[in-house]
Amino acid sequence: MEANTPEPTPVGRVIGLSAGVALIVGLITLAFAWPSADMGPHEVPIAVIGPDTAAEQVQTQLDEAQPDGFDVTAAADADQARALVEEREVYAALAVAPEGVTAYTASAASPAVARLVTGIAEQVAAQLGQAAGQPGSVQVTVEDLVALPADDPNGAGLAASALPLAMGGILVAALIGLTVRGTGRQVAAAVLAPPAVGAGVAAVLLYVLESLDGDFLPVAGALTLATAATAWPILGLVKLLGRSGLGVGAAIVMLVGNPLSGMTSAPELLPAPWGGFGQYLTPGAGGTLLRSTAYFDGHGASTAVWVLGAWLAAGAVLFIAGALRAKVRGVGVEEREKAEVAA
C-alpha cells in the first residue's frame, strides 16, 4: 500500500510567499530606518533673550542655515527663558551678548536638541568673535536646566523604553483577547493589567536602570495610561474582528506609532509632518507624557493625556461593539438550533 504523501506546494505560491516576505521586511525596514535617516530640525521651538527684533534677527539667520528648522520666541530676560524651558514651551533658549553666549537647554526633553542648540550657540559665538576681530574671544556657557540622571546622561534607557511600552500594550491585548473567555472577565483583566505593567516598568526605569528622576506614583500612572491606551483599542479590534484585529492593531502601533514617537530624538527632528502626526498615536503621546511626568512636573503633558484618553475611549467603544456583535450572533445561532430541533 502506498503511503499518502502531501502534494508539493505550487511553485507560484512559493514565489508569492517569498515576494510577500520581502515586501513585509522592506516595509519594516522603511518604517524604522526612514525617520532616523531623514532626521533634522523642523520648527523646533527655542527662545532668544531680548526684544522681538533680536528674535527676528536670529530667526532670519537660522532660516538661512536651516529653512523652517526653528521657531524662535522672544524672552524678556533669563528668568522668563528658564521658565519657558522648564515648562516645556521651548526646548532651549539663547542669551547673546558681546562678552559671551549662554545656552539654556533641557537634555531631559531631548539630548539631540540640546546638542543641536549648543552647536548653534558655538557658531554664534564664533561669528561674534570674528566680527570683533578677536576669533575665539567670545565664550559659550551651557546651563542644563532639566538634566538627565547621572547614571543615564544620554537618555538611552528612556529612549529604549518606547519599544517595551508599545509591546506591553500589544501583549496585554493579545493575551486577554485570545486566552480569556467571557466579556466580563476580559474587562476585568483589561482594567487590572495596565496598572501592573505600569508599576513594573516604572520600577525598572526608576530603580534598576535609574533612567528617570521622577516619583514612582506619577511615573507609574503615566505608564498605566499609556499601556491602557494601547491595549484597549487592540483588544476592541480583536473583539470585533477576531485574530485579524490583533494584526491590524499591532501594525499601527509598531510600524507607524513606534517609529514616529520621537522618543529617541524629538518629534520636531523627525521628517515633517510625520513627527507631529506621531504625537497623535499612543507611542508618541505616551512617550511625551512619560517625559513630562518624570522631569517637568507634568508641564507639556495636557495634549498627550487627551490623545491617550481618546484612544482609550475608542478602544472601549470597539470592545462594546464587538461584544454586542458576538451576543447578537449567539442569539441567532441559538434560535436556529431551536428551530432545527423543533423541525
Q: 33-55, pLDDT tens digit by residue? A: 666 666 788 899 999 988 777 77
Same domain, residue pair 177 and 255: yes
Same domain, residue pair 109 and 258: no
For 196-219, what is the mean pLDDT? 91
From the CB of residue 340, how many other CB atoms can be counted at a distance below 10 Å? Answer: 8
Same domain, residue pair 139 and 185: no
- Burial label, 248 (beta-carbon count in 10 A; 0-12, 13-18, 19+): middle
Query: Which residue type sits at 65?
Result: A
Domain assignment present for 114: yes
Q: How far apart are CA 111 and CA 117, in angstroms?
A: 10
Residue 46 to residues 13, 88, 171, 298: CA-CA distances in angstroms?
55, 10, 38, 20
Q: How far apart are CA 95 and CA 330, in angstroms?
A: 69
User: How many independent structural domains does the chain possess?
Assistant: 2
Whether pLDDT at 309 is above 80: yes
Averaged pLDDT score across all residues of the chain: 86
- Domain hosting 50: range is 44-144
| Assigned C-alpha cell, 29 | 525596514
Same domain, residue pair 315 and 206: yes
Find the helix packing angle between 302-342 and 282-295, rounded to 10°: 140
Same domain, residue pair 55 and 202: no
Among 26-35, 82-91, 93-102, 254-263, which is the least confidently predicted range? 26-35
CATH code where residue 136 lies? 3.40.190
Same domain, residue pair 326 and 178: yes
Same domain, residue pair 221 and 276: yes
Q: Give pLDDT, residue 30.
A: 67
Same domain, residue pair 138 and 87: yes
Instruction: Give 267-297 pLDDT, tens digit per residue.
Output: 999 888 888 999 999 999 999 999 999 999 9
- pTM over the 0.95 mark: no
Same domain, residue pair 68 and 197: no
Q: Classify 8 in phi/psi space as left (phi over 0), alpha (psi -120 to 50) or beta.
A: beta
Residue 273: cis peptide before it, omega within 30 degrees of 0: yes
Same domain, residue pair 163 and 259: yes
Whether pLDDT at 174 is above 80: yes
Same domain, residue pair 224 and 254: yes
Same domain, residue pair 64 and 181: no
